[in-house]
Chains A and B, each alone.
Chain A
Amino acid sequence: MQALIPAPVLLPLLAAALKLAIGGRLRRLHALISLATLGAMVVISLILLAAADRGGPLVACIGGWPAPTGICLVADRLSTLMLVVSSAVTFCVMLYSLANAYADQEHLAPMAIFHPAYLIMVAGVADAFLSGDLFNLFVAFEMLLGGSYVLLTFGGTLPRIRAGATYTVMGLASSMLFLIALAITYASTGTLSMAQLAERFAELPQHLKLLVELTLLLVFAIKAAVFPMSAWLPDSYPTAPAPATAVFAGLLTKVGIYSIIRLEALLFPGGPVSTILMWAALLTMLIGVAGAVAQTDIKRMLSFTLVSHIGYMVYGVALSSIAGMAGAVMYVVHHITVQTSLFLVTGLIERRTGTTSVDRLGGLMRLAPLIAVLFFIPAMNLSGIPPMSGFLGKLLLVQAGLADGGPLALTLVAGSLVTSLLTLYAVAKTWGKAFWRSPPAAAGAEETVLDSEESSEEGAIRTTVMPPWPMVAATAALVVLALSYTVLAGPLSALAGRTAGELMARQPYLEAVSGSGR
């Protein structure tokens, strides 16, 4: 079983190397390698999740070196659960982007660059989830950032270079901050292995502990786009290609959230930082959703809701109770799936009409009923309409907040409900404008524009053919996956509860790592 732990990191890296060796030829082989790799990741993650859920955290130390010196990968319930969801999402997005590339007749160049960058990013995400020491986490961040830099500036067009500059500089700044935090940590404790750190931080003086915690928290908050550090996200994500945006939105911010969970639960349990986190969560929720309400572009609107809903997860973590942590885990699982599927649907809309601006869209309900359904379900899910998973996640968080009972926690409960309502308003506005109403006047003669198969004059809706079925199928698969959380709500929330229990207890993790050396 231990041999399987490095597989989610190794497989995509090997596949990326293989693809670079193959080059731009052999399209079918490329597609086969990508899908086989990501499919294998799904299976392996499921096996790991089952094993970790039954037998406690699994540890694999690379090269047989024990924990403090060697690099250890730890697969506990949280890591494997995140792995399962992320690999399922990356598999669907890969399917989508394959169909996208075929439809665009971009056989050669994108295949040669897109897939390796994508796979390296996937490997980075998996490594971040599995990593058992902080430096390895840094390397994982660099892997996924490196892949995302390439994906974001894909094609090198002007808007992507503009957005990429902001994104890259932001990523670099946070990496440097991470390294500084690592230097402080190593100088004060002499180790970077998380299990050892968890024991040694307890012996440090309070101010030093706080310094390390705040620096690390700042790094992860930048990655997760928590409010004062969130301005980079809505500007950079929407310009990327649709599959890249979808997987960024689904996974990259959640890696930040995952790291915050690890930090708060394992390294610094019960610190004074949770008050700061609560305020950050409240501001993230409210300011993010206020931004979403003001947007007219669907992608930008979704990016702002992404920022806003990061607040829910931070809120769950900040409660530092088992119930809050379980709510956060549940919400992460739900949000990865739903946010990704929303961005994929937006990609479908863009492919169908040539625009994502709601001012120019209209009448999609009649034009493309399937896309309309695929947009409507995750949109309602995002805003928490019962009985979908968004509602379940929010319910768990609200219950945890009420159980906490403090004034700040109750404020956050109120804030989260307001945010939920405003999210509903934002997506309903988009729905009404893009799908429900008749096409805007700019479209001119409605019939001719809607019937024409090629792009019409400027200003009108540009109608292309229906997206190829694998794209629609991949999107639909994610939508169904998100819906299945409702059916599986019982086992899933029980799993989230067990995960949170394991996280808050800390002992299983520490024992597993210290036991691995012998």
Chain B
Amino acid sequence: MSLPLVPFALSAVLIAAGVTLLLERSLVRILVGVIVLSNGVNLLIVTAGGPAGRPPFAGTEGMADPLPQAMVLTSIVITLGVTAFLLAMAHRSWQLTGDDAVQDDTEDRRVRIRATAGELSRGLRDRERSYERLVADQRAELARLDAERIERERRAAAELESRILEINVDLGRWMEAHKNDGLPAEELLRRFEEARRQEEAQARGKDDRVRELRDDFARRQREQDAAEAELRRKLRTRQREARRKLRAAIREDLRRQALAQDPELEGED
């Protein structure tokens, strides 16, 4: 007995097309899929009954097998009924939602809501953490600059002192050398005083500048602190806002879900 290739191939194609359509979201497409699929399956059953072209009544030998045909008739009728029901359901779905798509089941939706909530809060946490890292970096940079400046000032002061010391030593040497030059001691003392005043004035000027610099630095730091506080405040407000929105969205979803789950409440919606 040869394999009836054509009917087999045809029913395979029909079943494949039907299954593809069955996987769609729209109920009408599913309906078409069911019709195509059931035709393919019915063809398969008829093919199972033996080769075509046999007589319907010719004794018992060589007669066409009546059983598969009876089965196919039954299955056609059943498919008709179920198709009508599916069609009515698609219509009702369209009446209610303006759409005939099959929706996700409750568990899927619940898992998805949780996933989005988790993602959002993770994003918030990440942003917060990166901001904190930025602030810490800035702090460290400031401290470094601060330390550098203090070091520079310290070095400048040391240099100044050493120069004063040098000058004093020079002066002593000079005075020693010119002791016998005949310049009157008063004159010497006067000049000495003058030199010291000059030195002092110079030193005072330097001190002033250092103080000024320090003030300036402190002011700048204060400004930066204020800006940072402002930024933090803004960020906190933004985060709070985002959290509130997220929570409201989740609550809304849950409420809708509860409504969807609770057939009794449907009327009040």
Contact = CB atoms under 8 A, between A and B. Distances in A.
Interface string A252-291: 0000000000000000000000000000000000000001
A153 B95 CA distance: 14
Contacts of B258: 357
Interface string B229-269: 00000000000000000000000000000101111101000
B97 to A, nearest CB: 7
Contacts of A204: none
26 contacts: A138-B75, A153-B89, A159-B266, A160-B263, A161-B89, A161-B93, A169-B22, A172-B34, A173-B22, A175-B78, A179-B42, A179-B45, A180-B44, A183-B41, A183-B44, A186-B45, A186-B71, A187-B48, A235-B106, A238-B261, A291-B107, A300-B106, A300-B261, A350-B264, A354-B264, A355-B264
Interface string B68-89: 1001001100100110011001
Nearest to B83: A172
Contact of A234 (B48, B107, B260, B262): B107
B41 A180 contact: yes
B266 to A, nearest CB: 5
Contacts of A155: 263
Contacts of A168: 82, 85-86, 89
B41 A176 contact: yes
Nearest to A160: B263
A427 B11 CA distance: 49
Interface in A155-188: 155-166, 168-169, 172-173, 175-176, 179-180, 182-184, 186-187
Contacts of A176: 18, 34, 37-38, 41
A162 B262 contact: no
Contacts of B97: 158
B260 A162 contact: yes
A179 B75 contact: yes
Interface of A: 69, 135, 138-139, 142, 145-146, 149-150, 153, 155-166, 168-169, 172-173, 175-176, 179-180, 182-184, 186-187, 192, 231, 234-235, 238-239, 241, 291, 297, 300, 350, 354-357
The 7 A-B pairs of least Cβ separation, nearest first, read A187-B48, A235-B105, A183-B44, A179-B41, A183-B45, A165-B102, A183-B48
Contact of B263 (A149, A239, A300): A239
Contacts of B260: 158-159, 162
Contact of A157 (B45, B102, B105, B263): B263
Given A161-B92, A350-B264, A166 B30 contact: no
Given A165-B93, A235-B106, A157 B71 contact: no
Contact of A182 (B45, B82, B92, B262): B45
Nearest to A171: B82
Contact of A186 (B34, B48, B93, B264): B48
Given A159-B261, A172-B34, A231-B105, A135 B82 contact: no
Contacts of B262: 159, 355-357
A343 to B, nearest CB: 14
A186 B92 contact: no
A153 B27 CA distance: 15
B103 A162 contact: yes
Interface of B: 15, 18, 22, 27, 30, 34, 37-38, 41-42, 44-45, 47-49, 67-68, 71, 74-75, 78, 81-82, 85-86, 89, 92-93, 96-97, 102-103, 105-107, 258, 260-264, 266
B261 A161 contact: no
A142 to B, nearest CB: 5
A184 B48 CA distance: 7
A149 B34 CA distance: 16
Nearest to A146: B81
Contacts of B74: 135, 139
A156 B71 contact: no
B102 A139 contact: no
Given A158-B96, A158-B266, A234-B107, A139 B89 contact: no
A187 B47 CA distance: 8
Contacts of A182: 45, 71
A300 B44 CA distance: 39
A496 B47 CA distance: 42
A156 B260 CA distance: 13
A239 B44 contact: no
B152 to A, nearest CB: 65
A172 to B, nearest CB: 5
B140 to A, nearest CB: 47
Nearest to A357: B258
B68 A186 contact: yes
A155 B89 CA distance: 11
Contacts of A356: 262
Contacts of B102: 162, 165-166, 169
Contacts of A235: 105-107
Nearest to A162: B103
Contacts of A175: 78, 82
B136 to A, nearest CB: 41
B226 to A, nearest CB: 44
Contacts of B27: 165
A189 to B, nearest CB: 10
A183 B39 CA distance: 13
B89 A164 contact: yes
Contacts of A166: 102, 105
A157 B38 CA distance: 29
A69 B261 contact: no
Contacts of B82: 142, 145-146, 149, 168, 172, 175
Contacts of A161: 89, 92-93, 96
Nearest to A156: B92
Contacts of A146: 78, 81-82, 85
A71 to B, nearest CB: 10
A231 B174 CA distance: 106
A69 B82 CA distance: 27
Contacts of B264: 350, 354-355
Given A165-B89, A235-B107, A157 B266 contact: yes
Contact of B261 (A165, A187, A239): A239
Given A69-B67, A135-B71, A183-B41, 4 more contacts: A157-B263, A165-B27, A169-B30, A180-B15
Contacts of A142: 78, 82
A336 B183 CA distance: 131
A159 B103 CA distance: 10
A149 B85 contact: yes
Contacts of B78: 139, 142, 146, 175
Contacts of A153: 89, 92
